[in-house]
Chains A and B, each alone.
Chain A
């Protein structure tokens, strides 16, 4: 029962659930039951599975590449491989738990359309596959599936601006998808391999990258920027978060950050000897984090503000990865885990505000603390958490990011991280004041909205933030050990 044969189930099971709920579209009670049961089972699978590698069709790892340039495609068996280790377990556990929360909130909001829930499951399966895949083509296929599923979640809002956001996301998705696929094709042409571990070995054995391989790295980096929501795709990504239902936005930002982590590890593993890649990653990360924070400060709509904060925080994760040391990469991944929790709370609070007031425009809101004190208190705590205030989780990861920047010889970046934390605090505390403390508002809260589900979930999440903040090594140590062993 507890074995590595369950690894493919992490992808296959959500896909089966997606097909089922899609098939039962408009049979609300069945969809609701299947959605709840399947999402809970999806949480259990990563917890029950032991670490290991699943070799589809018996892939045999190639050990040496003495004549890599003469290697022909049929010489190496290209089966799909899924690797499951501690990092994957942490990411998948968090991903599945958050999917359960989003499904519960969507059902609570009466969004129990079979297609909508199916898209949530498809996005879950895609991100799971992206996290597990050790095969570059399989990785690419699921990034494409994820793009479509995320666009569908936004289109489900049925507003013109949501349709526009999803349309733009798909257009740039074709640019990104094309770039990644062309990059993979070029690598296949040069090395005759698709498996990431084999590719990494082949590239190490081959010495300096050839111009064709350099083009491949450049194209895949463009795809990485899109999938991660970094500059210049930060606008498209923030537009998606802004126009999705806030609960779906919480899931989308989590998926983007986990894809950022998975793709960064993949790139750093494959091109481990190519230091310029890390510099480029770092450059785009800095640009994104600054632009994201500046834009967040300028917003007057809560959803848009949080969308830019989410984008800026993704930049911070990429900054840790781009610094390129084992310490900074681990800190970056740890920050991704911490940040998705805090951001999810803020998006769920936004969902409650949207339900109650039917708007998220900051100038129309106010006096919320009298109407929903618990939500207000949790939002304040989440603001502290996302700004890196102790004892919350982001403090632990931001502290490690600062320390790793100094250790890597970039003391300036540590100053930048502190400044950006302050900017994030100012942006979110402004929103908190405008929603919960500002006197005088013309809008009445809908008395029918109790928000019991929202309250329960955000309390669970803030407790998780506090717990990780108090016991960071439970999450951080396994990540660090794996990153050191990968030698990226």
Chain B
């Protein structure tokens, strides 16, 4: 871990942080743009503010992406639930 705080480690850290920012913002824009232009503008600002208050995000991402079987199981269950909800709700079965 110690050499993450030196030279290339810092560069990588900043790059990944910037990548996280941009990805969340771009993904948010993509979703909101298709919904409504007012929602798009407001949503983008909210996402930007949320990002600025949560920096550095990359360490949290790293913590959630360890090879722990518990974490992976949690995300697998969450994914199954999300996929089922999206397919059912999106096809008008639930709503």
Contact = CB atoms under 8 A, between A and B. Distances in A.
B80 interface: yes
Nearest to A222: B80
Contacts of B12: 297-298, 426-427, 430
B86 to A, nearest CB: 6
Interface string B27-44: 101100100000000000
Nearest to B67: A239
Interface string A295-309: 101101000000000
Interface in A218-238: 218, 221-222, 225, 231-236
Given A231-B75, A295-B61, A221 B83 contact: yes
Contacts of B13: 297-298
B30 A165 contact: no
Interface in B7-23: 8-9, 11-13, 15-16, 19-20, 22-23
A363 B1 CA distance: 10
Contact of A419 (B19, B67, B71): B19
A423 B58 contact: no
A222 B75 CA distance: 12
Given A218-B84, A300-B3, A175 B76 contact: yes
Nearest to B94: A211
Interface size class of A (residues with CB under 8 A): 35 or more
A90 interface: no
A196 B60 CA distance: 42
B72 A232 contact: yes
Contact of B23 (A222, A290, A297): A290
Contacts of A410: 30
Contacts of B88: 211, 214, 218
A150 to B, nearest CB: 16
Interface in A432-486: 433-434
Given A218-B80, A221-B87, 5 more contacts: A291-B65, A412-B29, A412-B33, A415-B26, A423-B19
Interface of B: 1, 3-4, 8-9, 11-13, 15-16, 19-20, 22-23, 26-27, 29-30, 33, 58, 61-62, 65-67, 69, 71-72, 75-76, 78-80, 83-84, 86-88, 90-91, 93
25 contacts: A164-B67, A168-B69, A171-B69, A172-B72, A179-B80, A211-B88, A215-B84, A218-B80, A222-B79, A232-B79, A233-B72, A235-B66, A236-B67, A276-B86, A276-B90, A286-B23, A295-B61, A297-B12, A297-B15, A298-B4, A298-B58, A416-B26, A419-B22, A422-B15, A433-B8
